[in-house]
Structure 1
Amino acid sequence: MESLLDDYSKYLSVYEMLLANSAEHRCMKEFVHTKLPEVLASIGKGEPTLNMMGVGSGSGEIELEILKVMHEKHPDAKVNNEVVEPSECMLKKYNALLSKTPGLEHVTFHWNKMTATEFENDWKKNNSDRKMHFINMIQMLYYVEDPEATISFYRSLLQKGGKILLILLAGETAWARLIKKFQDQICKKGFAQSVNTSDIKRFLESKNIPYQNYKLRSLTDITECFTPGDLKGDRLLDLLTEVVEFRKTASPKLRDEVLEFLKQPENSQTVNGRILFDCSTEALLIDA
């Protein structure tokens, strides 16, 4: 089976389908505008310039919302924002969205077409001692080899009083359990696809690193996954397993086991004849 991570164009198309069939981004935006303002208000008080960073910024949809809130809480401050994103396609989407987003004239963007690991190596090579007030790492730890080492490095870049916002699949959510259950059969070596917030919280607690957590509940309509030959259902199944053409390339045994897992009552619920799968995420705010 071919990992979806090896075919970025397919990954992007199915991920956009997920967003259209779930409340994932709506929940994140609600968190940014209801829970995050108080946190951002406490960071960098009175400083003329704030340093921010997005690691795996994607198309910038959530990051630009964070920048808006930061400006609301620090209206007189300039902002330097480091964008770390390896996908040229995503960077183009980010720039297109930025061009349509007013009120960010105070922000200077620094574009880094790099993976999180490449940026870390580049930063160390240049011996930079610049510190960050706020770093967001949203749905990106699945794509590094060592999530704990990645968190430790980026946390070392924080100013005193700074924060990291980390968003991942919640540990108890059905999608996280699906990946854990079948990780030996569907996950690509060299990536931490099965990592979730339960893993990260155990790491933070073992190191006595303070954090706050917020559950972001989101359900995905997977009804069509149970109709063989349905294009939308097959693409959603590809995303949930992160395997290209999973229905065709998986063994009949594995395919049946995954479909059975998806429809179990503890993993999904039926509402008005539609099957809704639990893909909830969790936000962790990690202290410096």
Structure 2
Amino acid sequence: MAAPFKSLVDDYSRYLKAFQLFLERSSEHQCMQDFIRGILPDILASIGDGKGTLNVMGIGSGAGEMDLEMLAQLHMKHPGIRVDNEVVEPSSEMLHKYKVLVSKTSDLDYINFTWHKMTASEFEEHWKEENIMKRMDFIHMVQMLYYVKDPEATVSFYRSLLNKNGKLVIILVSGESGWGRLWRTYRNQLCNTEISQCVTTGDIKSFLEAKGIPYKNYELPSQMDITECFTEGNEQGELLLDFLTEVIHFSKTAPPDLKAGVLDLLRHPDCSKEVDGKIIFNNNLGVLVVDP
């Protein structure tokens, strides 16, 4: 990353604060829930092949809310089948929240949870070192491919773990979203070279198509109110700008021309629309469903 910038992911407490604000200002969780309840059940219908146990893996599971939503849909589609669930999450705090959520949720006795405090890359190394032969029926990666060095290699490895009827479900920002436009324009100035960070479904689709790997694509409409970003000195606006650019204190550390360019682009019709005096950013997500 260019010299004066520090990546937001290097300051976990500020990242968490910015992420919570992002969730409050966006419809991200709602659009994911709509997908999980409306479309995912049909995707999960074909896995299992009459087995008594389904092997599930969540990569970068966070605090577990979306995991449990998906597991509930899986259970409804395949009642009576046990689930062996591998949870991969590098944050101790998030794993703790996930475990607390599990303890407070009834009717999970059909699931065996195995916890791995690891990054996706560390877990891949662990899997190879232990020479584990287990195959997965359902692997999901929700908003985590930004934090690996090589998203294409990560997708390839986890796809290789699928059973013959298994599904790999990847959720990322859409290449057609405001994020996609922002990253295409300012990737070199904003994106951390140590991790992929500025990756969209467009990048992963290009990789899958080049390799001839079949997939299905779903667009999930989502939006975010970024009005506060345009009020100089507004604390919440600055936090949202940090989240959008993935830079700590972007507003204070960015050169004036870069800051002006980013703010202009965020207001541009390719990224946002104005509704009742508010600037509403295109936060659309994409879902890629990949076969073995």
Do the two structures share a fold, i.e. TM-score over 0.5?
A: yes
Residue number among 123, 127, 132 corresponding to 1:119 in the alignment: 123
**TM-score calculated relative to the size of structure 2:** 0.97
Shift of residue 99, structure 1, vs aligned partner: 2.0
Mapped pair 1:258 → 2:262: yes
Computed over aligned residues only, the root mean square deviation of the Cα atoms, in angstroms, reads 0.9
Aligned length in residues: 288
Mapped pair 1:157 → 2:158: no
Counterpart in the other structure of 2:206? 202
SS of match in other structure, 1:182: helix
Provide the C-alpha distance between the structure 2 equivalents of 1:17 and 1:143, rounded to a whole number of angstroms: 20
Mapped pair 1:97 → 2:101: yes
Shift of residue 206, structure 1, vs aligned partner: 1.3
The answer to whether the 8 Å contact 2:181/2:270 transfers is no
Provide the C-alpha distance between the structure 2 equivalents of 1:177 and 1:266, rounded to a whole number of angstroms: 7
Unaligned residue ranges in structure 1 (runs of 5+):
none
Mapped pair 1:191 → 2:211: no
Shift of residue 180, structure 1, vs aligned partner: 2.4
The answer to whether the 8 Å contact 1:216/1:281 transfers is yes
Mapped pair 1:83 → 2:95: no
The C-alpha deviation readout for 1:63-89, integer Å capped at 9, x for no partner, is 110000111111111101000000011
Counterpart in the other structure of 1:58? 62
Shift of residue 215, structure 1, vs aligned partner: 0.4
The answer to whether the 8 Å contact 1:4/1:238 transfers is yes
SS of match in other structure, 1:199: helix
The answer to whether the 8 Å contact 1:179/1:193 transfers is no
Provide the C-alpha distance between the structure 2 equivalents of 1:205 and 1:232, rounded to a whole number of angstroms: 40
The C-alpha deviation readout for 1:91-118, integer Å capped at 9, x for no partner, is 1121122222222111010000000000
Mapped pair 1:222 → 2:229: no
Aligned letter for 2:17? Answer: S
The answer to whether the 8 Å contact 1:47/1:77 transfers is yes
> Larger deviation: 184-193 or 242-251?
184-193
Counterpart in the other structure of 2:141? 137
Residue number among 20, 23, 36 corresponding to 1:19 in the alignment: 23
The C-alpha deviation readout for 1:36-85, integer Å capped at 9, x for no partner, is 11111211032111000000111111111000011111111110100000
Shift of residue 188, structure 1, vs aligned partner: 1.3
The C-alpha deviation readout for 1:245-276, integer Å capped at 9, x for no partner, is 11001111111111011111221111111110
Q: Percent identity?
A: 53
The answer to whether the 8 Å contact 2:85/2:114 transfers is yes
Provide the C-alpha distance between the structure 2 equivalents of 1:90 and 1:10, rounded to a whole number of angstroms: 15
Residue number among 222, 240, 243 corresponding to 2:244 in the alignment: 240
Shift of residue 219, structure 1, vs aligned partner: 0.7
The answer to whether the 8 Å contact 1:45/1:74 transfers is no
Unaligned residue ranges in structure 2 (runs of 5+):
none
Provide the C-alpha distance between the structure 2 equivalents of 1:85 and 1:9, rounded to a whole number of angstroms: 17
Aligned letter for 2:29? Answer: H
Aligned letter for 1:227? Answer: T
Structure 1 stretches of at least 4 aligned residues deviating more than 4 Å after TM superposition = none
